[in-house]
Amino acid sequence: MSEIGRKFEKLRNNKTEKALVGFVTAGDPDLEFSLEIVLTLARAGVDIIELGVPFSDPTADGPVIQRASMRSLRSGTTLRDVIQLARSVKKQTNIPLVLFSYYNPLFRFGAGKLYESLVDAGVDGILVVDLPPEEAHEFLVQWSGNEIDFIRLIAPTTPPERIEAIVRDASGFIYLISKTGVTGSKGLDYDEISSMVQSVKVYTNLPVCVGFGISEPEQVRKISAIADGIVIGSAFVRTIEKFGKSDELLEQLEKQVKAYKQAQHR
């Protein structure tokens, strides 16, 4: 079982707990501080970290994560640096790490070499935003093993027969997009989310985590009641943007995580 699988098992055994998945863009505001940020999130109680690879043209992201990507690129972050950052994180904590990326930087790097590098750095999973099952073969066929979980996205627009096809080569967990829209957009329909979670669970035993547009503890509470976990991205990134490189940022992030975790326990 993968590190991600073990994490969910642990949460399940501890009945009241749901997963808090935290996304940050690697290298925002710079690589050195990124390490501090990730370690802070882990210490404060985030269960799984998604490490975003910055990309010049993040078409699935709203303004908050777009700006984070630009800050990171301006500070010179490359995919190699992100993998190095993952390695540094894993040296200090065993929190499951997922690389979250658009396809082009990975394609340029080479899927085979990437797989080796991720395993070597201790990365546990990967999510490629713009690589649907129709095109994923060329990427996965270059992997020399199955030590990296391949996290799959399912959207509100995904019909049932497609869900079935998507979960087939998924592992780790399923990332369910809460609504049609980019990251960080507003407005959640809990009934719809609940029925989407149920329809995914018809086809897979993998844990289902819901992301996009979740920022308030109240939303965290409601969605944690109907899914196996939630993903917080833009809300953390907004805090990073607001406080910049400072001890106050780390304090604020810690507070934020604790508020979310508390909401999940209720």
Partner 1 sequence: MSNTAYLQPDNRGHFGPYGGRYVAESLMPALLELEEAFREIVLGDPSFSKEMEKYLRYYVGRPTPLYYAQNLSDHIGGAKIYLKREDLAHTGAHKINNTIGQALLTKRMGKSKVIAETGAGQHGVATATAAALLGLECKIFMGVEDIKRQAPNVKRMELLGAEVIPVETGTGTLKDAMNEAMRHWVSTVRDTFYVIGSVAGPHPYPVMVREFQRVIGKEAKKQILEKEERLPDVLIACVGGGSNSMGLFYEFLSDPVEMIGVEAAGRGVKTGKHAATLGAGAIGVLHGSKSYVLQTDDGQILEAHSVSAGLDYPGVGPEHAYLKDIGRVRYVAVTDFEALDAFHTLSRQEGILPALESSHALAHAIKEAANRSADTIIIVNLSGRGDKDLEIVLQHLKGDGKDE
Residues of the shown chain interacting with partner 1 in the complex, contacts defined by CB under 8 A:
55-62, 66, 73, 78-80, 103-109, 129-132, 134-135, 152-159, 162, 166, 177, 180-182, 185
In the complex with partner 1, the residue whose CB is nearer, 26 or 44, is: 26
Q: Provide the minimum distance between the beta carbon of 265 and partner 1 in the complex, in angstroms, as a whole number.
A: 31
In the complex with partner 1, the residue whose CB is nearer, 55 or 236, is: 55
What angle do the packed helices 247-265 and 217-224 form, to 10 degrees? 40
In the complex with partner 1, the residue whose CB is nearer, 103 or 243, is: 103
In the complex with partner 1, the residue whose CB is nearer, 130 or 147, is: 130
Q: Provide the minimum distance between the beta carbon of 252 and partner 1 in the complex, in angstroms, as a whole number.
A: 27
CB 143 within 8 A of CB 114: no
Is 61 among the residues known to form the active site? Answer: yes
Q: Provide the minimum distance between the beta carbon of 153 and partner 1 in the complex, in angstroms, as a whole number.
A: 4
95, burial (CB in 10 Å: exposed 0-12, middle 13-18, buried 19+) = buried
- Given the residues 3, 17, 28, 61, select the one marked as catalytic: 61
Q: Provide the minimum distance between the beta carbon of 77 and partner 1 in the complex, in angstroms, as a whole number.
A: 9
- Given the residues 3, 17, 50, 149, select the one marked as catalytic: 50
Q: Provide the minimum distance between the beta carbon of 43 and partner 1 in the complex, in angstroms, as a whole number.
A: 31
For the chain, give the secondary structure using H, E and C.
CCHHHHHHHHHHHCCCCCEEEEEEECCCCCHHHHHHHHHHHHHHCCCEEEEECCCCCCCCECHHHHHHHHHHHHCCCCHHHHHHHHHHHHHHCCCCEEEEECHHHHHHHCHHHHHHHHHHHCCCEEEECCCCHHHHHHHHCCCCCCCCEECEEECCCCCHHHHHHHHHCCCCCEEEECCCCCECCCCCCHHHHHHHHHHHHCCCCCCEEEECCCCCHHHHHHHHCCCCEEEECHHHHHHHHHHCCCHHHHHHHHHHHHHHHHHHHC
In the complex with partner 1, the residue whose CB is nearer, 237 or 263, is: 237
Is 161 among the residues known to form the active site? Answer: no
Question: How many residues are listed for the chain in this entry?
Answer: 266
Catalytic residues: 50, 61
